[in-house]
Amino acid sequence: MNQLEMKKAAAQAALQFVKPDTIVGVGSGSTVNCFIEALGSLRHQIKGAVAASKASEQLLVRQGIEVFSANDVSGLDIYVDGADEINPQKMMIKGGGAALTREKIVASLAKNFICIVDESKLVDVLGSTFPLPVEVIPMARSQVARKLVALGGSPEWRENVVTDNGNIILDVHNFKIMNPVEMEKNLNNIAGIVTNGIFALNSAATVVVGTAEGTKIIR
């Protein structure tokens, strides 16, 4: 299977975690787009979905799935999202699509985080293959960048990208994240950072991996 076929296989396999008469939390990104397409087959069995990005919301509507605001629900049974990297402890780097803050918000509502990826996203150490996205309030861009440099990172402003919240993204290269929980907390304490793309405090409960040999589920 090529990469797209692996993503589709993981997305299809994730449908087994969707329970009837529930509202499903949905993230964003190319693998999630495959999941939304597959979720359309269950649109008459579920109540609807909460989307972590405007782009995902539009795709859900096209599938005939009712979209709820995060403010409309007190909790979700599952949240399904992809990752840019995921380690053996099911901790992730996310934010390649600049939706990391809303993804954290929707993920925090769910009992179970189901991460769907193709096998290229599996790493031993976070930061090995993908820079760490950090969402920053625009007026703090330079001062946050200086603090990230002091921590050993090489931040790069993702120009011409504005998040759904009206903020900017700094992609931090050269971070080998040996203690994801500590790093996630420390970065979020820097004034001007809305949140960072480490998902360690709320890691995945289950990982569905599309591989060349088929789909693998890691619980």
Three-point CA angle 147, 153, 155, nearest 5°: 80
Query: In whole angstroms, what is the distance from residue 6 CA to residue 34 CA?
Result: 10
Q: According to the annotation, is 164 in a ligand binding site?
A: no
Q: Which residues are catalytic?
A: 103
Q: According to the annotation, is 97 in a ligand binding site?
A: yes
Do 65 and 58 form a contact (C-beta atoms < 8 A)? no
Cβ contacts of 213 within 8 Å, gap of 6 or more: none
Q: According to the annotation, is 82 in a ligand binding site?
A: yes
Q: According to the annotation, is 205 in a ligand binding site?
A: no
Q: According to the annotation, is 96 in a ligand binding site?
A: yes
In the chain, where does DSSP find H-type helix?
A: 3-13, 30-39, 54-62, 100-107, 141-150, 180-188
Q: According to the annotation, is 171 in a ligand binding site?
A: no
Q: According to the annotation, is 29 in a ligand binding site?
A: yes
Binding residues for substrate, as ranges, are 28-31, 81-84, 94-97, 121
Binding residues, as ranges, are 28-31, 81-84, 94-97, 121
